[in-house]
Amino acid sequence: MTQVGKARGTTPDALNYLESFTLGAVDTSLAAQNAVVALESLGLGSVYIGGIRNKPAEVAAELALSARQFPLFGLAIGKPDPVRPASVKPRLPQASVLFEEQYAWSETQAQAVRDYDRSLRAFQREQGLPERDWSDQASDRTRGPDSMAGRDVLRDVLAKLSFPLF
């Protein structure tokens, strides 16, 4: 957008705002998810790689990104190995994430999460994976900066990549 604006003689100052960053993140995610669905329809598999945000400055340098460009996530694409078929992990039940008109967390959602912990454990058992509640995993991941695999410094990295995020 910076280049397009330049060609029109405008300064793209709105790109300095958190709103523009959020817009970019939403649009990129929507495009990627559509790509994932299209890839599946072609018999290809894909894996999102959020791990690239563990070292976003290094990834930005590797990709020769310029100012106000940020590597949101990677998407690895390949052919699924028929010798190692993968099962779809159970997802959080709708009752735990769907609210009508207003957000109102209640015992209904809490029970749905407990049910999910149980169904995830059953899946892990079936797959020969170590058993662990989703609630436990998710709580651990959101515990604090030390559980964020280096992503706690994202604001500083974004500032260095010329995102003031006003």
- Residues at the interface with ligand FMN (CB under 6 A): 47-51, 73, 88-89
Which residues touch 8 (CB under 8 Å, ≥6 apart)? Answer: none
> Of 75 and 95, which has the nearer Cβ to ligand FMN?
75
DSSP structural state of residue 49: E
Tokens for 14, please give them.
């709105």
Tokens for 49, please give them.
């790689």
Whose tokens are 């028929």? That residue is 82
> Of 50 and 80, which has the nearer Cβ to ligand FMN?
50
> Of 65 and 92, which has the nearer Cβ to ligand FMN?
92
- 36 burial (CB, 10 Å; 0-12 / 13-18 / 19+) is middle
Shortest distance in whole angstroms from residue 39 CB to ligand FMN:
13
Shortest distance in whole angstroms from residue 153 CB to ligand FMN:
17
Shortest distance in whole angstroms from residue 119 CB to ligand FMN:
13
Strand 45-49 to strand 74-78: parallel, antiparallel, or no bridges (unpaired)?
antiparallel
Whose tokens are 């280049």? That residue is 3
Shortest distance in whole angstroms from residue 96 CB to ligand FMN:
16
> Of 75 and 110, which has the nearer Cβ to ligand FMN?
75
Shortest distance in whole angstroms from residue 159 CB to ligand FMN:
23
> Of 49 and 57, which has the nearer Cβ to ligand FMN?
49
Measure the CA angle with vertex 50, ends 29 and 122; round to 5°: 100
Contact 18, 166 (CB under 8 A): yes
